[in-house]
Amino acid sequence: MTDDFPLRDRVSMVTGAASGIGAACARLLAARGAPVLVTDLDEEGAAEVAAEITAAGGRARARRLDVTDPGAMEKAVSEATDLGGELRIAVNSAGINGPLKPLGAYPVTDFDNVIGVNLHGVFHALRHQLPAMVAAGGGAIVNLASIAAHSGFRDHGAYAAAKQGVLALTRTAAREYGGSGIRVLSVSPGLVDTPLVAALPPGATDGLLDAVPLRRPAQPEEVARLIGFLVSDDAAYLTGGDHVIDGGYLAK
């Protein structure tokens, strides 16, 4: 018999949860029984996702959180316990694209911003989520990386560098905290049908789908289902690895 609520009572937090992959993860974790702290820079969007979860019978609370603010991260992680227990699951999905420019023309401030959100943001999250999970006696964390970390990506130099850094932080955290019962993993999506991609300038993804054997972008729910598996007990022996979900884009 399968358990309809395999994540029952496992307090969870999701960053970047107002939109796209983060929102899909928040909904899926809640549907599987986890109380979810829905965090985002976009406070209104986070509140909408939390309200939707509550209306569907799940447990959720929304909170504004800028992942570049270490103090706010510390507070958010400690407030997760208000959901009824210690933090057991985290999905770090907050991310930005930055401008599309070749490295020779990439503005320094934009480089810093992209690294600030996509890499430092994950560091700030881990820095507080890991000790919280040590206190909880174990847990699972999934960080959003990207195929850009694997292949490099034209006009996305800062983004690719940040995502490669996310892989390194993930492996390091897995080595450091495996003994405390904490699994740390990353997921590298290819093209996913979210507002992040919709906001790219016209033509930015031209040709990309031709290189995807499945010939379509992923839906955010497909990425969330992979993440839902990774944080579950079915993935109890997985840690430190990156899990590519790209419709075959990186296949050689």
What's the chain's Rg over C-alpha atoms? 17
Decide if residue 96 touches ligand NAI (CB under 6 A): yes
CB of 29: closest distance to ligand NAI in angstroms? 15
Angle between helices 121-136 and 70-79 (to 10 degrees): 30
Question: Residue 41 corresponds to which tokens in the numbers above?
Answer: 């820079």
Q: Which of these ranges, 53-61, 76-84, 93-101, 233-241, lies near ligand NAI under the rule CB under 6 A?
A: 93-101
* Comparison of 134 and 245: residue with beta carbon closer to ligand NAI: 245
Contacts of 205 (CB under 8 A, 6+ apart): 191, 197
Determine the Cα–Cα distance for residues 173 and 190; give it in Å rounded to an integer: 24
Restricting to residues 153-212, which ones interact with ligand NAI according to CB under 6 A? 189, 191-192, 194-197
**Residue of 29, 34, 50, 117 interacting with ligand NAI (CB under 6 A):** 117
CB of 18: closest distance to ligand NAI in angstroms? 4
Pairing state of beta strands 87-92 and 60-64?
unpaired
Pairing state of beta strands 242-245 and 36-40?
unpaired
Catalytic residue numbers, as ranges: 159
Restricting to residues 10-69, which ones interact with ligand NAI according to CB under 6 A? 15-16, 18-22, 40-42, 45, 65-68
* Comparison of 22 and 228: residue with beta carbon closer to ligand NAI: 22
Which residue in 18, 27, 35, 140 sits closest to 91, CA to CA? 140
Determine the Cα–Cα distance for residues 81 and 149; give it in Å rounded to an integer: 33
Binding residues vs ligand NAI (CB under 6 A): 15-16, 18-22, 40-42, 45, 65-68, 93-96, 117, 121, 144, 146, 189, 191-192, 194-197
